[in-house]
């Protein structure tokens, strides 16, 4: 696309081309650069101005990459981007807090618009960075930080902004959803499926952040803070991963009409409190999120006016996350042209506390191995009853060597009461073990 575009109207910004600097050329960086290259003509027509990727900062100049770039664009010195007065937009695609946060701060202090896909940095330091951007009327966009290619940040900040959000619930980690789906489809054990997922590159060599629920913790922190216009501290979010889920739980859940998913939940409790939690949950097979399988992600937003809105798509990977980053870059380009950068600033106006998990009320699934003889069920039911936990259903699953597997589903009760009941139940002579306790969501 040659020549100057008409209508450039930025206040104090009146260039003929947008200059972009990219920090990081890994999975997301490659997807971003590839998309900007492949669809350049269409992108430029849509934003109404040409762009150039002026520089890309990498750790290793000679590494083989998934995208073909002119070697002359590469540098190992991030300062060549951060301190270059000609660069308008800095795309931070390194990930992690250190040194990404310092790079982003430096870019903002140098008056640059910033686009990032860094969930950990946004979840932990987003407030500080957004304040810095707001003070300078700069754009600071992070669509790629949650659920990869699924548009969720922009819709919540724009199209759905008129709603009072009641709840956001999502399957926001593809690795764990892939593992749970495989366990369910192949009736396989967690360890076997994890190994296979690692061999095929679906799970990281170090899968701790995914299977431990921490990746989802960052993402739900970001979604909750936007939904409830309140800052959410990552450390206040209850997290439980999927390592304790057994094939027997998935089977028992199926027989009861449920699937097991790792969910991130942000729910409004009242004006002052919110629930923000990540844990495996039984979802009824008819639940809108229940049929999200494999590496796919989905987010359900419940607004007071719109009702339920579902977002579904690929939550990770080069192409999908690159798509989100490029969407943000295009938005910034339009804002630069119209002189309206910094238009959508941080919306954390209020303070709401996160309800402690002990107080969170849900239904509960309990699976235990007990002696197969008279009065055993009655003994356990008595403990549940004494702890004010009402039973919805109980199923005896299997009997072998004088032992039976019992699955209980309770009516709603706070987690604390279940903890107290289980402490008593494991002490009963007739109970061999409590194999699992999983919350049940409606």
> β-strand 258-268 against 238-239: which pairing, if any?
unpaired
Residue 313 in the binding site for ligand HSE (CB under 6 A): no
Compute φ and ψ for 75, nearest 5 degrees. -145, 155
Could you give the CA distance from residue 328 to residue 325 in angstroms, rounded to a whole number?
Answer: 5
Whichever of 28 and 422 has its CB closer to ligand HSE, that residue is 28
Residue 174 in the binding site for ligand HSE (CB under 6 A): yes
Whichever of 219 and 439 has its CB closer to ligand HSE, that residue is 219
Structure tokens belonging to residue 311: 């977002």
Collapsing DSSP to helix, strand or coil, 69 comes out as: coil
Whichever of 32 and 341 has its CB closer to ligand HSE, that residue is 32
- 219 catalytically annotated: yes
Shortest CB 176 distance to ligand HSE, Å:
7
Q: What string of H, E and C letters represents the secondary structure of 297-338?
A: EEEEEEECCCEEEEEEEECCCHHHHHHHHHHHHHHHHHHHHH
The residue from 315, 320, 322, 414 that contacts ligand HSE (CB under 6 A) is 315
Residue 175 in the binding site for ligand HSE (CB under 6 A): yes
Residue 215 in the binding site for ligand HSE (CB under 6 A): yes
Strands (E) in 164-229, as ranges, are 165-171
Structure tokens belonging to residue 94: 């390194």
54, 101, 219, 261: which is the annotated catalytic residue? 219
The residue from 44, 88, 210, 240 that contacts ligand HSE (CB under 6 A) is 210
Residue 292 in the binding site for ligand HSE (CB under 6 A): no
Whichever of 210 and 328 has its CB closer to ligand HSE, that residue is 210
Binding range to ligand HSE, per CB under 6 A, among 52-60, 170-178, 240-248, 283-291:
170-178
- Burial (CB count within 10 angstroms: exposed 0-12, middle 13-18, buried 19+), residue 164: exposed
Contact criterion met (CB below 8 Å) for 230 and 350: yes
Binding range to ligand HSE, per CB under 6 A, among 6-14, 101-109, 173-181, 255-263:
173-181
Could you give the CA distance from residue 58 to residue 60 in angstroms, rounded to a whole number?
Answer: 6
Shortest CB 369 distance to ligand HSE, Å:
32
Compute φ and ψ for 329, nearest 5 degrees. -60, -40
Helix (H) / strand (E) element for 426: namely none
Provide the annotated active-site residues. 219
Give the footprint of ligand HSE on this chain (CB under 6 A): 173-175, 210, 215, 315-316
């Amino acid at each position: 696309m040659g020549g100057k575009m008409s209508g450039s109207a930025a206040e104090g910004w009146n260039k003929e081309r947008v200059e972009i600097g990219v920090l990081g050329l890994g999975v997301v960086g490659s997807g971003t650069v590839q998309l900007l290259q492949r669809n350049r003509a269409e992108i430029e027509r849509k934003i109404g101005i040409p762009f150039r990727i002026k520089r890309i900062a990498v750790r290793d100049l000679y590494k083989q990459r998934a995208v073909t770039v002119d070697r002359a664009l590469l540098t190992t010195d991030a300062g060549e981007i951060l301190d270059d007065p000609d660069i308008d937009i800095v795309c931070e695609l390194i990930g992690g807090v250190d040194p990404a946060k310092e790079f982003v701060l430096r870019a903002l202090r140098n008056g640059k618009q910033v686009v990032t896909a860094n969930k950990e940095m946004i979840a932990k330091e987003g407030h500080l960075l957004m304040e810095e951007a707001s003070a300078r009327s700069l754009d600071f966009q992070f669509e790629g930080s949650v659920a990869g290619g699924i548009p969720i940040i922009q819709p919540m900040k724009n199209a759905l902004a008129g709603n009072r959000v009641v709840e956001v619930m999502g399957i926001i980690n593809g690795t764990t959803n892939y593992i749970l789906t495989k366990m369910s489809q192949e009736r396989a054990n967690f360890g076997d499926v994890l190994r296979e997922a690692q061999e095929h590159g679906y799970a990281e060599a170090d899968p701790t952040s995914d299977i431990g629920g921490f990746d989802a913790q960052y993402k739900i922190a970001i979604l909750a803070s936007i939904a409830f216009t309140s800052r959410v501290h990552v450390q206040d979010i209850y997290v439980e991963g999927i390592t304790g889920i057994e094939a027997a739980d998935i089977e028992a859940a199926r027989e009861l009409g449920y699937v097991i998913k790792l969910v991130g939940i942000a729910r409004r409790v009242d004006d002052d409190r919110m629930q923000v939690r990540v844990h495996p949950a039984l979802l009824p097979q008819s639940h809108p999120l229940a049929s999200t399988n494999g590496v796919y992600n989905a987010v359900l937003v419940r607004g007071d006016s719109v009702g339920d809105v579902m977002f579904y798509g690929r939550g990770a990977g080069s192409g999908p996350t690159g798509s989100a980053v490029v969407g943000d870059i295009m938005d910034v380009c339009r804002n630069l042209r119209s002189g309206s950068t910094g238009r959508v600033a941080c919306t954390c106006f209020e303070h709401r506390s996160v309800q402690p998990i002990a107080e969170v009320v849900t239904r509960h699934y309990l699976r235990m191995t007990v002696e197969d003889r008279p009065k055993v069920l009655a003994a356990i039911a008595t403990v549940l009853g004494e702890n004010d936990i009402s039973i919805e259903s109980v199923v005896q699953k299997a009997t072998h060597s004088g032992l039976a597997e019992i699955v209980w589903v309770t009516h709603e009760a706070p987690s604390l009461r279940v903890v107290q009941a289980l402490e008593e139940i494991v002490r009963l002579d007739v109970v061999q073990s409590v194999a699992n306790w999983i919350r049940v969501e409606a």
